[in-house]
Amino acid sequence: MLKFPYCNVTDLNQALAQCRFVGLLGPLASRRQSPRAVVSCSPSSSEFSLTPVQAVMSCQQQVGSSLVNRLRLGGLTEDGFSYKEKFIIRGFEVGINKIATIETIANLLQEVGSNHAQSVGFSTDGFGTSPTMRKLHLIWVTARMHIEVYKYPAWRDVIEIETWCQNEGRIGTRRDWILNDVATGEVFGRATSKWVMMNQDTRRMQKVSDDVKEEYLVFCPREPRLAFSEKNNKSLKRIAKLEDPVRYSKLGLKPRRADLDMNQHVNDVTYIGWVLESIPKEIIDTHELQAITLDYRRECQQYNVVDSLTGLELTEGSKMVSVGTNGSATATATTREDDHDCHRFLHLLRLSSDGREINRGRTEWRKKPTR
């Protein structure tokens, strides 16, 4: 492994600040074919011809003695195009059945995505932004999140999450995850998300420029890689708007201070909890969430008041199996004639003040397994 004897740094950010990346401003096409960089850790050290990915990984090795890097059980994969990290499911991350909650899973997805961004030298301010984005006051915001869990990990299980990102159209990017049980090697979950670029000052969407693409595409897989195959991909399914009257609702939800993230906005995972607030108790008691899709349509601030609405998703072959009380969460759901244990719901989070949409969602629930 290459050594940089004149490096004297204590963390990755300092290392990357000292490393010089030369020749990274060429056309995107040539960068994608053969990205090259000359890296040195001080003006007096020798220069080595490396790809940007190799340069980052090499600088990471030089700061591996820092406390955070020693304790974190994660890092870039050998090709540098994805990031893996291991976690132990802790007691405060499980419910009464000692099984990890969907909020725990979603929080770990966020953590791995953030650590991936930091590992390649992007900002540590919580936005995962590149140098050009910071200069132009641009940030990434979540547009859609889709999570499927085939089997929930239990207390003290060790899991490994792999993540990577890639280009997604003119105004966005895509991040995918695969979740594995370390003991068995079994894939127990997958997730995908779409992110769009927003101007931090005007709060308007903005096209991803070639300059920004050049900064992050060098760390993305060369060929499209998807956590879900495009065939029968539920993450792509359009979510219809839920209209009143609805069968189930929970009104007047207020963000707590603990719901705010480091960027002073309500954390994305909080929306999942709000969606679950209006799920019928009979479903919560007998079923577990197997898939959730959320479309994020509006930012939620600390002093907003939110209504959570839930309705039955009627699909082809569905029929009503019981009738509930309007405005309550005490009725059961619809079922498909060939799938009596699976229940599907549509969701809407809206501002109590004027009814504007914050989030649309869809959930699927399966019968809880016998453990």
Check residue 125 and give its pLDDT.
67
Confidence of residue 169 (pLDDT cuts 50, 70, 90): confident
pTM as predicted: 0.78
Could you tell me which CATH number the domain at 237-315+340-370 has? 3.10.129.10
Report the C-alpha gap between 266 and 264 in whole angstroms: 7
pLDDT band for position 58 (cuts 50, 70, 90): low
Pick the catalytic residue: 300, 343, 347, 359?
A: 300
Residue bearing the bigger pLDDT, 152 or 60: 152
Q: 186: pLDDT confidence band, cut at 50, 70 and 90?
A: very high
- Write down the catalytic residue from 13, 69, 107, 265: 265
100 contacts 89 by C-beta, under 8 angstroms? yes
Q: What is the percent of the chain where pLDDT is above 90? A: 45
pLDDT for res 116: 92
Query: Mapping DSSP to helix (H, G, I), strand (E, B) and coil, where does residue 1 land?
Result: coil
Strand pairing partners for 51? Answer: none
Tell me the per-residue pLDDT of 294-333, one tens digit each, with 9 for 90 and over: 999 988 888 999 999 999 997 655 544 333 333 333 334 4
Give me the pLDDT at residue 52, please: 58
What are 105-125's pLDDT values in tens digits? 999 999 999 999 988 888 766
Residue 209 predicted with pLDDT over 60: yes
Q: Do domains 52-235 and 237-315+340-370 have the same CATH topology?
A: yes
Q: Which of 199, 263, 326, 340 is catalytic?
A: 263
Residue 188, pLDDT > 80, answer yes
Token reading at 24:
């990274």
Based on the residue annotation, tell me whether 300 is a catalytic residue of this protein: yes
With a cut of 50, say whether residue 355 has pLDDT above it: yes
* HSE toward the beta carbon, residue 77, CA cutoff 13 A: 13
DSSP 142-163: EEEEEEEESS--BTT-EEEEEE
Mean local confidence (pLDDT), 3-26: 35
Average pLDDT over the chain reads 79
pLDDT at 87: 97
| Secondary-structure breakdown of the chain: helix, strand, coil percentages, each rounded to the nearest 5 | 25, 30, 45
Measured in degrees and rounded to the nearest 5, phi and psi for residue 275 equal -60, -45
Q: How does residue 34 score in pLDDT terms, banded at 50, 70 and 90?
A: very low
Q: Is the pLDDT of residue 22 over 90?
A: no
52-235: CATH number:
3.10.129.10
What is the reported pLDDT for 233?
Answer: 77
327: left (phi over 0), alpha (psi -120 to 50) or beta: left
Whether the pLDDT of residue 251 is over 60: the answer is yes
Q: Is the pLDDT of residue 18 over 70?
A: no
Q: Is 7 a catalytic residue?
A: no
Taking a C-beta distance cutoff of 8 angstroms, is the pair 272, 330 a contact?
no
Q: What's the pLDDT score for residue 8? A: 37
pLDDT band at 153 (very low <50, low <70, confident <90, very high): very high
> In terms of pLDDT, which residue wins out, 236 or 357?
357
Produce one character per residue of 180-201: b if its CB has 16 or more CB atoms within 10 Å, e if not.
bbeeeeeebbbbbbbbbbbeee
Strands (E), the chain: 37-39, 48-50, 74-76, 83-88, 138-149, 158-168, 172-181, 187-199, 248-253, 287-296, 306-312, 318-320, 334-336, 343-351, 357-367
- For the chain, domain boundaries: 52-235, 237-315+340-370
Whether 263 is catalytic is yes
